[in-house]
Amino acid sequence: MYVLGIDVGGTNIRFGLINEDYELNDFIIEKSGDLQSEKSSVNNLKRLIENYLEQSDKEVAAIAIGFPSTLDKKRKKILSTPNIRGLQNIDIVNILEEKFKIPVFIETDVNLLMINDIVEAQVAQEGIIMGVYLGTGVGNAIAINGELLTGKHGVAAELGHIPMLNGKGKCGCGNEGCVEVYASGKRLQEICTEHFKEIPISEIFEQCGEEEIIKSFVEMLALPVATEINILDPDVIFIGGGLISMKGFPVKFFEAAIHKHARKPFPEQDLHFNYSSLGQENGVRGAGVFAYKQLERGEQK
């Protein structure tokens, strides 16, 4: 048996078939530009899935999709997707199940990334697990005793939208002064444009890591991580994302900044950081693991 895992991003959509041993097969990447159409985004998504399934000779029992979106509590609808214009307020599960006649499960992309991290690291799921993924924005996932924290309306763990004291910058969510305005890939791009025009952003940490404005930026990245650690006192901490994986990223300085802001004596004295492995396929594999868990729950009911 296989399930189809899909990871939807603003630039690419990743597809792969996952077997019951969580092994990935037939991984491909497609451009997601067609999803930017407000009128035909869902039809374009259906077409991409249909094309993938038609090219496979494997039996698929379910589809699981990670979206860079806010989802409803029941995980049936996409409420909003800031970076993909066409995925707003859509009853996506019912639409896709009607089309493909197999179960469809959806979750936030960051939750699926953490599910993959949990499987790869083989950590026990008892207690509190948190994941912070620093990229274009601040992605966040929390699991308590193996259950993802979704909240009353399905939109819990929005760490990137903690309001900063006296923050004035406009955030993509519509509010002002969110931590994402100051601690994100978007902010790093602004810093590079304002202060380091001649240096490619991919080399900014390697070439300018000792500049005060870059060190201040890295400490700002540490603030939301330390904030959540102080609130949750987690058993396991995952850290990942495109910023962390950049060449020359000052990991030791970043960790020292987390320790600086973490509550003393605990949890500060017992912090251990697990870093995500690099890979385009992580979200797809996480989607596959999630699909099997959901199918298992359905059988138990």
- In tens, the pLDDT along 83-100 reads 788 899 999 999 999 999
Residue 202 lies in a domain: yes
- 156 and 286 housed in the same domain: no
Same domain for 154 and 227: yes
**Mean of pLDDT over the chain:** 94
Burial class of 239 by CB neighbour count within 10 A (0 to 12, 13 to 18, 19+): buried
Q: What is the pLDDT of residue 94?
A: 97
Please tell me which residue, 137 or 103, carries the higher pLDDT value: 103
Does 252 map to a domain?
A: yes
Q: Do the domain assignments include residue 258?
A: yes
Instruction: Please give the average per-residue pLDDT across 239-263, as a whole number.
Output: 96
pLDDT above 70 coverage of the chain, percent: 99
Answer yes or no: is 76 within a domain.
Answer: yes
Q: pLDDT for 30-61, tens place per residue?
A: 988 878 777 789 999 999 999 999 999 999 99
Our count of domains for the chain comes to 2
Task: Say whether both 255 and 157 belong to one domain.
Answer: yes
What is the reported pLDDT for 40?
Answer: 85
Q: At a CB cut-off of 8 Å and minimum separation 6, what does 77 contact?
A: 71, 89, 90, 91, 92, 93
Q: Do the domain assignments include residue 106?
A: yes
**Whole-number pLDDT of residue 146:** 93
List CB contacts of 55: < 8 A, sequence separation 6 or more.
none
Q: Residue 207: pLDDT above 70?
A: yes
User: Which residue would you say has higher pLDDT here, 172 or 300?
Assistant: 172
| pLDDT at 82 (0 to 100) | 80
What's the confidence (pLDDT) of residue 228?
A: 98
- Going along 84-151, which residue ranges are E strands? 104-108, 128-134, 138-144, 147-148
Q: What is the pLDDT of residues 258-288, one digit of tens each?
A: 999 999 999 999 999 999 988 899 999 999 9
Residue-range definition of the domain harbouring residue 195: 125-275
Band (103; pLDDT cuts 50, 70, 90): very high
Domain shared by 237 and 287, yes or no: no
Give the Cα-Cα-Cα angle 120, 73, 159 (nearest 5 degrees): 60
Tokens of 139: 């992605």
- The more confident residue out of 260 and 165 is 260
| pLDDT at position 300 | 65
Task: Answer whether 246's CB lies under 8 Å from 202's CB.
Answer: yes
> Does residue 140 surpass a pLDDT of 90?
yes
Residue 301 clears pLDDT 70, i.e. is over it: no
Whether pLDDT at 9 is above 80: yes
Q: Inform me whether the pLDDT recorded for 115 exceeds 70.
A: yes
Assess if residue 117 is contained within a domain. no
Dist CA 140 CA 255 (whole Å): 17
Same domain, 158 and 255: yes
SS3 87: coil
pLDDT of residue 189: 95
| Dihedral sign (CA 228, 126, 153, 288) | positive
- Which pLDDT does position 226 carry in this prediction? 97
Q: Are residues 139 and 87 in the same domain?
A: no
Element (H, E) at 82: none
Q: Do residues 132 and 146 share a domain?
A: yes
* Helix (H) or strand (E) run with residue 262 in it: none
pLDDT at 86: 86
Tell me if 165 sits within 8 A of 271, measured CB to CB: no
What are phi and psi for residue 224, nearest 5 degrees?
A: -65, -35
90, 135: one domain: no
60-67 and 70-71 strand pairing = unpaired
Is 118 within the bounds of a domain? no
Asked if 139 and 245 sit in the same domain, the reply is yes
Question: What CATH number is attached to the domain comprising 285?
Answer: 3.30.420.40
